[in-house]
Amino acid sequence: MKKRFLHISVLFLVILLTVPFSVTAQDKEAFKKEHFIKGADTLNYRILFPKDFSEEKKYPVVLFLHGAGERGNDNESQLIHGSGLFLENRENYPAIVIFPQAPKDDYWAKVKVNRDTIPFQFNFENEKPATKSLQLVMDLMEYMLRKNFVDTSRIYVGGLSMGGMGTFEIIYKKPELFAAAFSICGGANPEIATAYPKGFNIWIFHGEKDDVVLPKYSKIMAREINHHGGNAKLSLYPNDNHNSWDSALAEPYLLPWLFDNSK
C-alpha cells in the first residue's frame, strides 16, 4: 500500500511540475508577434488582445518592460516574466498588453552600468535623450493611442530591473501618458520625480537582500515621488534578492489596483 501511495504521489508531483510549463508555453502564443518600424529602426514586440476583442469597444493598454536578461532579437524572451500574469487574468481584466524587446546592445533607461562590482554601479542620465529602444517604445505607444479601440484614459506601464528603470524614465519623458505604473527592483535619477504628475499612482517593489540593484534606489525614488506630490506605494520583501519580481507579480492586489486607476 505504501509503495502504491508513493507511486501516486510521485505521479501527481510530475503532473504538477510539467503541466503548467507546457500550458504556459502554448498559451504564450496568444501574444501575437509584431514589429514596429520607424525609418531604419525596428522594435520587436508581442501583443495580447482580450478574448472576443472588438474594435467597437475600448480597452486599457498595459506596457511591460522586461529586464536586461531578456534582451535579444528572438521576440520571445521578453515573455519569460510577467506574461503569465496577464494570460491568467485575461478574462477578469480585458486589456491590450504589449511586451516590447530591446536588443542585446541597448537598454530601456539612459544609464551607465558598471558590472565590474557587485552590486552593480549605476549612473542614471534619465534627463538625456532616450535610448533608441525606449524612443521606439514611445513611438509605438503614440501609434497605439491613435487606435479607436484604445482607452487613452487607462494606459499603464510596468517593468522589472532594467524595465523598472525604463518605467521610471518613460513616466518622466511622457508624464501625461500613463494613468498608473509599477516598478520592480529598478531605480532612476531621483531628480526626475519633479516632473511626475501630481497625485500620480505608482507601486514600487524591491527585495531587501538585492545585491544587484540595491533597494536604496527604489526607496529614494518612492520618497522623492511622494515629496513632489506623487503617490508612491513601496513594498519591500525582506527575504528577496534581485528576483523580487516573483513576489511582486504574485501580489493578489496588483492588477485590481492597476486597472482601478484612470486619468
Q: What is the pLDDT of residues 158-187, one digit of tens each?
A: 999 999 999 999 999 999 999 999 999 999
Least confident of 14-23, 148-157, 160-169, 248-257: 14-23
Indicate if the pLDDT at residue 54 is higher than 90.
yes
| 76, 110, 143, 231, 235 from 37: Cα distances, Å | 18, 21, 11, 35, 37
Under DSSP, the state recorded for 44 is E
Calculate what percentage of the chain has a pLDDT beyond 90.
Answer: 87
Q: What is the pTM of this model?
A: 0.90
Residues 6+ apart with CB under 8 A from 111: 122, 123, 124, 125, 126, 165
Domain 31-259 class, CATH top level? alpha beta
Least confident of 20-29, 163-172, 200-209: 20-29
Q: How confident is the model at residue 28 (pLDDT cuts 50, 70, 90)?
A: confident
Domain spans of the chain, in order of start: 1-30, 31-259
